[in-house]
């Protein structure tokens, strides 16, 4: 396994030890194995999505067959416009976009700044503050959500989008911790060299740390996007007017006390998944080796 | 300088240090690290109270500082650095005071009351904590969560790491494959439930069918109490997409030249994996370990969809129990007491992990100068 | 045939807008010519058993359908009651919290629009919250003293919320209204919302449990359908007879068995044998370890031992009720199961009365209500709304003619029974409500703790790891300390 896992790192030095043809064959064999493995696992990972697609295209009587069918047998595309228009999903979409983008941007800015402080700058009290940061993750939300609701209620912000947006601009412990870990994998020698040249911390942050952390920042962006896009609890608690509902909240309205419109639910779910998958897919471009980092090595 | 040495993992090989060596920091010979390693073990031989645990985290964070901490007189540069630190993290401090500190403290105070959320609370002193000690479900839920946490985080760590390695291959269409592998983390919970009911079905599920080829009669995974938790762990592995993404990002930060250096020294792929990939990824693995534990000890979404705590409380997770007590029994006081005990447990586990991290987590960019 | 289907279609729009089939058909109706529609109807409606691949080429409409109402807002817009409370002289706003599914909420908005026409000075703000999250949301609002003026409340939380003072008593308002007629509600439907001698909410629906049966399975076995002559022995006998087959195609005689984790278990399963779970209505004593209770549960257990009921892992976690899959011959369900069964069942089915037991003929009934909250700024306006919303006209408008069924007012039942879509056996639902329904279910504030303590013990019985007798003893031991508080 690890032979092909490290396939991309086989160096010329190693390659030279082998006959040329043999290496090519080996590479081909590795490639075939990688594809076989990827395809086989993909089937398992894509099945529930296929069930969503096939359910979204069914009529009500066919939604639940037992055992379930994972591939569509009917193609009732009308479920999509019907589901989308049954509630003001266009409005929900706009609200979700506002909340999600405000969160992604807010989280990227605030969390990277704070993470840089924790990763790179020494100060008294840093340890205890990091502990407090982690502690905010350790207390289950079920018991802080009501006090927090009361807090926003005191601020007069209930039934606005602000409670869903504001906190993101002040950092989120999961992301701060994540970025700190990544920043700490970047050699300090780079900072030192820059400092000798008179660079300020802010410049080091912008010109060394951030460019070298693109994959980590992309990860935070993906998580912030998906987390807020599918967040049900906060909109549930803070939002009362339907004009301010988000997609996740709207989607859940398909689930009645005694009755769930699974085909419509799945149709709208798939529509709302498209932005998520697009963002994930596009972010893959940022998942490349930090160029500078590779460049500085080996000397 | 010694403080810095403590933090070196015994794993990082000559190759991982070469990056630093080339730009001027002292070359650390692996044997030196081993010596320090042994020393640390004795040095941190204190027992595990919460305070001890907190100290461990604190030490781990503060240790990189080469100068003695808490010394009243700081140099001009150090003072500037300290000012900058507080400027950089100021956003979080404001947010913490505004949005976090209040609710967290409130939940602590509430844990000494009988608050139903609907009427003003009455002070009940330690009553909730006394009830907790006598509550068998408290122990059941704690055990279930620890079982599930260790199982899902342990196996999840390996599976998602392997997936990330697989998806780090530079082959055509890899972005598509990554997206597919990430799907389970975002698709609807019902779709997931449908799939797993089919996979885990006692009579004609996929797993038991495969087992029957080998003459093994598979259990009723979600029906029999003793098999429900392993079944849930199995399910959780399949949603490893989240940590997979983090590993993928981590793999991009492993400098290529380290592999090249290793190759020149004649290391095979296995050696490179253990001596370059793993140590360089250790901060990310560490993150997934910490966060994975926190999430799995609190989380209950999967359980809510699949089993709702059953059968026979075999999957009554701590998070689910807190949720029930809070929003079905309307006993927020007791729920808060449960939550604070969980906080303590998570803190101890996290502290243990931070302590252990000294011996295996390797930071290329330590704030040591 | 096509005409028949079109008519049915039109009716179904008005009826509930709950099922997916209708939804697709609306799209079809809007987007397609008559001929194309007939083709689609033929594919979807007349031959639902065939995978509708044939429908695909004709299905996509030429233009995207514009959203239309599933319900005719004017149908049923009459007969509104008089109000003893005068309308406010200035504009006031009232907020009303519902928990409707997305489609039915449309009918709600229609009602509200008509109401605001009749009462120009009352602005109604409807809030809609998914059922699963409803409690969490509004308990948080209660903590912030920000409850809506009117809120939905289910029987199982009503006593807890009333005890905590969330609502206002309604007796004084009711006394003033000459059209109100409290006798129109069955006694059982009111019990959940009474406390300390006062009424705190007005029920909107009330569902007695009945026997739903799959006619196709009965026909195939040549067994006559359940009728008034049936007793529980007959039910057991037929359930065993109808249980056939293996693996995914197995047919189960009965859909479910009693579980002590179910707050509704006593009336249909225990009381017919002269047994009870807790002493009602105060729920201050657990009776489950009494000989008659143990014997009744053992009597039912025989059906599990003989494989006549599906295991809980079969079907149950995903879609409710499992009956609609067509693998279950008979099932006991509250009348609220009718709409989902109508939407999902691809077979002939009907409803019968729950059979009589050796000691009594009894079934449960339970429902939901609307209350005026303590935080209401305009309780008078809120009352005017409630008075009309839950009047005979209001219940017919909302639940009768839309086919949702089970209105709490007996006078609203004809509107449901006369709708073409009430199954023939719907009359037995009403009959059960009038005759055999009992409200001796677990609904005191200790209820959730009782069922969540007993349920896991009962799981062991289901898994075959504990005998019924031992389970009853363990449940008694677990439940008794919880309900001790009710003895005070």
B: neighbours with 3+ CB pairs under 8 Å?
A, C
pTM of the predicted model, to two decimals?
Answer: 0.85
Model confidence pLDDT, tens digit, residues C325-359:
888 999 999 998 998 898 888 899 999 999 999 99
Contact B118 C449 (CB under 8 A): no
B204 CB neighbours in chain C (<8 A) are: 247-248
Q: What single-letter DSSP state applies at residue C415?
A: H
Q: How large a percentage of chain C has pLDDT more than 70?
A: 84
Contact B330 C164 (CB under 8 A): yes
Please give the helix or strand (H or E) that residue C437 lies within, else none: strand C437-438
Is the distance from CB of C286 to CB of C481 less than 8 angstroms?
Answer: no
> Stretch B12-16: mean pLDDT, rounded?
47
Q: How large a percentage of chain C has pLDDT more than 90?
A: 72
ipTM field: 0.85
pLDDT exceeds 60 at position C187:
yes
pLDDT of residue B57: 54
The CATH homologous superfamily of the domain defined by C92-207+366-438? Periplasmic binding protein-like II (3.40.190.10)
Task: Delimit the domains of chain B by residue range.
Answer: 2-357
Is the distance from CB of A239 to CB of A91 less than 8 angstroms?
Answer: no
Q: Which of C165, C313, C448 sits opposite B201 (nearest CB)?
A: C313
A: neighbours with 3+ CB pairs under 8 Å?
B, C
C158 CB neighbours in chain B (<8 A) are: none
Nearest residue on chain B to C450, alpha-carbon basis: B329
Is the distance from CB of B263 to CB of A13 less than 8 angstroms?
Answer: yes
**DSSP of chain A, one letter per residue?**
-HHHHTGGG--HHHHHTS-HHHHHHHHHHHHHHHHHHHHHHHHHHHHHHHHHHHHHTS-GGGS--SSPPSS-S---TTHHHHHHHHTTHHHHHHHHHHHHHHHHHHHHHHHHHHHHHHHH---TTHHHHHHHHHHHHHS-HHHHHHHHHHHHHHTT-TTSSHHHHGGGGG--HHHHHHHHHHHTTS-HHHHHHHHHTT--HHHHIIIIIHHHTHHHHHHHHHHHHHHHHT--HHHHHH--SGGG--HHHHHHTTB-SS-B-HHHHHHHHHHHHHHHHHHHHHHGGG-S--HHHHHHTT-
**A170 or B45, higher pLDDT:** A170
- Which residues are C198's β-sheet partners? C195
CA atoms in the 13 A half-sphere facing the CB of C252: 27
User: With an 8 Å Cβ cutoff, is A62 touching chain C?
Assistant: yes
> Stretch B162-182: mean pLDDT, rounded?
90
The phi and psi torsions of B4 (rounded to 5 degrees) equal: -65, -40
When the pLDDT of each residue in chain A is averaged and rounded to a whole number, the result is 85
**B67 or C196, higher pLDDT:** C196
β pairing state of C437-438 and C363-372? parallel
pLDDT of residue C48: 33
Contact A129 B272 (CB under 8 A): no
Contact C143 A150 (CB under 8 A): yes
With a CB cutoff of 8 Å and minimum separation 6, the contacts of C54 are C43
* C459 CA: distance to closest CA in chain B (Å): 5
Contact B225 C465 (CB under 8 A): yes
Tokens encoding A146 = 């009501």
pLDDT exceeds 60 at position A7:
no
Contact A242 C127 (CB under 8 A): yes
Q: Which of C23, C100, C318 sits opposite A79 (nearest CB)?
A: C23
Task: Delimit the domains of chain C by residue range.
Answer: 2-55, 92-207+366-438, 208-362
pLDDT of residue C446: 95
Q: Which of B116, B204, B329 sits opposite C247 (nearest CB)?
A: B204
C311 CB neighbours in chain B (<8 A) are: 202, 220, 223
Nearest by Cα to B69 from B77, B58, B80: B58
Contact B367 A170 (CB under 8 A): no
Model confidence pLDDT, tens digit, residues C150-186:
999 999 999 999 999 999 999 999 999 998 999 999 8
**How confident is residue A20, by pLDDT bands cut at 50, 70 and 90?**
low
pLDDT of residue B13: 46
Contact B225 C463 (CB under 8 A): yes
Pick the CATH number of B2-357 from 1.10.760.10, 1.10.260.40, 3.50.50.60, 1.10.3720.10: 1.10.3720.10
C129 CB neighbours in chain A (<8 A) are: 236
SS3 C203: strand
Contact A254 C140 (CB under 8 A): no
**A158 or B189, higher pLDDT:** A158
Q: Which of residues 219-238 of B touch A (CB under 8 A)?
A: 238
Contact A237 C28 (CB under 8 A): no
3-state secondary structure B44-107: CCCCCCHHHHHHHHHHHHHCCCCCCCCCCCCCHHHHHHHHHHHHHCHHHHHHHHHHHHHHHHHH
Contact A45 B188 (CB under 8 A): no
Q: Is the peptide bond before C281 cis (omega within 30 degrees of 0)?
A: yes
Is the distance from CB of A52 to CB of A270 less than 8 angstroms?
Answer: yes
Please give the helix or strand (H or E) that residue C212 lies within, else none: strand C202-214
pLDDT of residue B61: 53
Q: Establish, for the pair of chains B and C, how many residue pairs have beta carbons separated by less than 8 Å.
A: 81
pLDDT exceeds 80 at position A277:
yes
Which of C23, C30, C98, C137 best tests the A interface by mutation, with the highest count of A CBs <10 A? C23
Q: Which of C21, C61, C144 sits opposite A153 (nearest CB)?
A: C144
Alpha-carbon span C400 to C410, nearest angstrom: 11
Using the structure block, give the residue that is written with the tokens 């989280």.
A107
B269 CB neighbours in chain A (<8 A) are: 2-3, 5-6, 9-10
Alpha-carbon span B321 to B325, nearest angstrom: 6
User: With an 8 Å Cβ cutoff, is A263 touching chain C?
Assistant: yes
User: With an 8 Å Cβ cutoff, is B98 touching chain A?
Assistant: yes
Asked if domains C92-207+366-438 and C208-362 share a fold, the reply is: yes
B313 CB neighbours in chain C (<8 A) are: 456, 459
Contact B85 A226 (CB under 8 A): no
B223 CB neighbours in chain C (<8 A) are: 311-313, 462-463
Model confidence pLDDT, tens digit, residues B281-321:
999 999 999 999 999 899 887 788 788 888 899 999 999 99
Please give the helix or strand (H or E) that residue B178 lies within, else none: helix B174-182
Q: Which of C104, C137, C315 sits opposite A66 (nearest CB)?
A: C315
C: neighbours with 3+ CB pairs under 8 Å?
A, B
Model confidence pLDDT, tens digit, residues A105-139:
999 999 999 999 999 999 999 999 999 999 999 99
Q: What single-letter DSSP state applies at residue C165?
A: T
> Stretch B247-265: mean pLDDT, rounded?
87
Nearest residue on chain A to B94, alpha-carbon basis: A170
**How confident is residue C319, by pLDDT bands cut at 50, 70 and 90?**
low
Q: What single-letter DSSP state applies at residue C229?
A: T
User: With an 8 Å Cβ cutoff, is C449 touching chain B?
Assistant: yes
Q: Determine the CATH number of domain C208-362.
A: 3.40.190.10
> Stretch B77-100: mean pLDDT, rounded?
93
Q: Which of residues 131-190 of C touch B (CB under 8 A)?
A: 135-136, 139-140, 142-143, 160-161, 164-166
pLDDT exceeds 70 at position C426:
yes
Q: Establish, for the pair of chains A and C, how many residue pairs have beta carbons separated by less than 8 Å.
A: 179
Q: Tell me how far CA of residue C210 lies from CA of C190, C268, C270, C331, C362, in angstroms.
A: 20, 9, 15, 8, 10
> Stretch A295-299: mean pLDDT, rounded?
34
Q: Which of B92, B102, B277 sits opposite A110 (nearest CB)?
A: B92
**What domains can you pick out in chain A, each with its CATH number?**
2-76 (no CATH), 83-296 (1.10.3720.10)
Is the distance from CB of C173 to CB of C376 less than 8 angstroms?
Answer: no
Which of C19, C102, C247 best tests the A interface by mutation, with the highest count of A CBs <10 A? C102
Share of chain C residues as helix, strand and coil, in percent rounded to the nearest 5: 45, 15, 40
With 0-12 CB in 10 A as exposed, 13-18 as middle and 19+ as buried, what is C85?
middle
pLDDT of residue B199: 84
Nearest residue on chain C to A144, alpha-carbon basis: C140
Q: Which of A73, A153, A256 sits opposite C53 (nearest CB)?
A: A73
């Amino acid at each position: 396994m690890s032979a092909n896992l490290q396939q991309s790192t086989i160096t010329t030095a190693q390659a030279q030890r082998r006959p040329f043809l043999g290496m090519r064959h080996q590479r081909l064999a590795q490639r075939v194995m990688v594809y076989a493995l990827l395809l086989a696992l993909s089937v398992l990972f894509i099945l529930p999505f296929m069930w969503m697609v096939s359910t979204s295209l069914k009529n009500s009587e066919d939604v639940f067959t037992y055992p379930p069918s994972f591939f569509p047998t009917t193609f009732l595309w009308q479920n999509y416009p019907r589901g989308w228009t049954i509630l003001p999903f266009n409005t929900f979409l706009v609200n979700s976009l506002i909340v999600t983008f405000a969160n992604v941007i807010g989280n990227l800015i605030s969390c990277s700044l704070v993470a840089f402080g924790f990763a790179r700058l020494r100060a008294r009290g840093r340890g205890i503050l990091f502990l407090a940061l982690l502690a905010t993750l350790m207390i289950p939300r079920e018991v802080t959500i009501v006090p927090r609701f009361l807090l926003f209620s005191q601020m007069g912000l209930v039934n606005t989008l602000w409670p869903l947006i504001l906190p993101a601009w002040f950092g989120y412990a999961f992301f701060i911790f994540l970025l700190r870990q990544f920043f700490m994998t970047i050699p300090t020698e780079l900072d030192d060299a820059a400092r000798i040249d008179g660079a300020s911390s802010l410049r080091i942050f912008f010109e060394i740390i951030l460019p070298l952390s693109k994959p980590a920042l992309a990860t935070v962006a993906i998580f912030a996007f998906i987390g807020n896009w599918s967040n049900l609890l906060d909109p549930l608690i803070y939002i009362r007017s339907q004009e301010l509902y988000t997609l996740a909240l709207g989607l859940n309205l398909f689930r009645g006390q005694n009755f769930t419109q699974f085909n419509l639910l799945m149709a709208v779910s798939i529509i709302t998944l498209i932005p998520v998958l697009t963002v994930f897919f596009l972010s893959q471009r940022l998942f490349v080796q930090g160029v500078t980092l590779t460049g500085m090595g080996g000397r | 300088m010694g403080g810095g040495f403590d933090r070196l993992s015994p794993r990082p090989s000559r190759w991982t240090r070469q990056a630093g060596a080339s730009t001027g920091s002292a070359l650390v010979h692996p044997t030196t690290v081993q010596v320090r390693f042994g020393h640390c073990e004795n040095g941190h031989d204190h027992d595990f109270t919460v305070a001890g645990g907190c100290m461990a985290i604190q030490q781990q964070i503060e240790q990189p500082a080469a100068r003695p901490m808490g010394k009243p007189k700081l140099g001009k540069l150090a003072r500037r650095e300290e000012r900058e630190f507080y400027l950089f993290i100021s956003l979080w401090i404001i947010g913490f005071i505004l949005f976090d500190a209040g609710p967290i403290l409130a939940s602590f105070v509430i844990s000494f009351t009988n608050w139903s959320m609907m009427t003003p609370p009455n002070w009940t002193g330690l009553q909730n904590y006394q009830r907790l000690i006598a509550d068998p479900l408290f122990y059941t839920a704690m055990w279930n969560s620890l079982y599930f946490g260790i199982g899902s985080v342990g196996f999840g760590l390996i599976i998602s790491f392997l997936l990330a390695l697989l998806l780090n291959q530079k082959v055509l269409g890899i972005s598509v494959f990554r997206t597919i592998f990430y799907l389970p983390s975002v698709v609807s919970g019902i779709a997931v439930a449908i799939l797993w009911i089919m996979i885990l079905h006692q009579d004609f599920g996929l797993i038991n069918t495969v087992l029957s080829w080998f003459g093994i009669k598979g259990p009723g995974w979600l029906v029999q109490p003793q098999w429900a938790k392993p079944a849930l762990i199995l399910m959780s592995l399949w949603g490893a997409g989240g940590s997979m993404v983090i590993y993928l990002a981590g793999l991009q930060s492993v400098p290529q030249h380290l592999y090249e250096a290793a190759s020149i020294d004649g290391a095979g792929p296995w050696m490179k994996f253990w001596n370059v990939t793993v140590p360089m990824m250790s901060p990310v693995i560490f993150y997934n370990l910490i966060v994975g534990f926190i999430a799995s000890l609190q989380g209950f979404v999967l359980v809510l969809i699949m089993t709702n705590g059953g059968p026979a409380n075999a999957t009554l997770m701590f998070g689910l129990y807190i949720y029930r007590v809070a929003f079905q029994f309307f006993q927020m006081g007791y729920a808060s007491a449960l939550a604070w005990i969980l906080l303590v447990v998570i803190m101890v586990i996290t502290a243990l992990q931070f302590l252990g991290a000294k011996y295996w987590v390797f930071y290329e960019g330590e704030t040591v100068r | 045939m096509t005409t028949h289907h079109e008519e049915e279609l039109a009716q179904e729009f008005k009826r509930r807008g709950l099922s997916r089939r209708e939804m697709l058909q609306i799209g079809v109706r809007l987007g397609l010519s008559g001929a194309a529609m007939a083709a689609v109807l033929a594919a979807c409606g007349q031959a639902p058993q065939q995978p509708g691949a044939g429908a695909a080429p004709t299905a996509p409409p030429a233009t995207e359908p514009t959203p239309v109402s599933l319900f005719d807002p004017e149908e049923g817009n009459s007969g509104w009651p008089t109000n003893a409370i005068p309308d406010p002289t200035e504009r006031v706003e009232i907020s009303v919290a519902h928990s409707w599914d997305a489609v039915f909420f449309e009918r709600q908005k229609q009602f509200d629009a008509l109401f605001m026409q009749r009462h120009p000075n009352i602005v109604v703000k409807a809030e809609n919250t998914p059922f699963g999250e409803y409690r969490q949301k509004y308990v948080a609002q209660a903590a912030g003293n920000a409850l809506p003026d009117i809120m939905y409340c289910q029987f199982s939380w009503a006593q807890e919320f009333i005890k905590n003072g969330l609502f206002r008593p309604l007796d004084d308002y009711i006394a003033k209204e000459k059209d109100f007629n409290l006798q129109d509600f069955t006694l059982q439907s009111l019990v959940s919302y009474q406390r300390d001698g006062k009424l705190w909410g007005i029920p909107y629906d009330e569902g007695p449990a009945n026997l739903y049966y799959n006619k196709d399975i009965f026909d195939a076995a040549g067994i006559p359908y359940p009728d008034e002559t049936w007793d529980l022995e007959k039910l057991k006998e037929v359930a065993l007879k109808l249980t056939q087959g293996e693996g995914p195609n197995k047919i189960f005689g009965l859909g479910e068995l009693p579980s002590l984790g179910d707050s509704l278990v006593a009336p249909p399963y225990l009381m017919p044998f002269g047994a009870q779970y807790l002493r009602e209505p105060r729920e201050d004593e657990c009776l489950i370890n009494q000989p008659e209770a143990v014997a009744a549960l053992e009597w039912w257990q025989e059906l599990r031992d003989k494989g006549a009921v599906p295991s809980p892992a079969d079907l149950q976690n995903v879609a409710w009720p499992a009956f609609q899959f067509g693998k279950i011959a008979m099932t006991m369900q509250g009348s609220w199961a009718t709409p989902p069964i109508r939407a999902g069942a691809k077979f002939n089915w009907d409803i019968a009365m729950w059979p009589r037991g050796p000691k009594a003929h009894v079934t449960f009934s339970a429902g939901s209500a609307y209350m005026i909250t303590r935080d209401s700024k305009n309780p008078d306006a809120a009352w005017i709304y409630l008075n009309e919303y839950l009047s005979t006209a209001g219940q017919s408008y909302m639940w009768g003619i839309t086919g949702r069924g089970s209105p709490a007012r007996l006078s609203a039942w004809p509107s449901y029974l006369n709708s073409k879509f009430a199954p023939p056996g719907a009359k037995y639902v009403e009959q059960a409500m009038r005759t055999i329904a009992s409200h001796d279910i677990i609904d005191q504030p200790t209820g959730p703790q009782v069922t969540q303590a007993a349920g896991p013990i009962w799981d062991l019985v289901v898994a075959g790891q504990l005998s019924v007798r031992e389970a009853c003893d363990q449940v008694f031991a677990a439940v008794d300390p919880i309900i001790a508080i009710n003895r005070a």
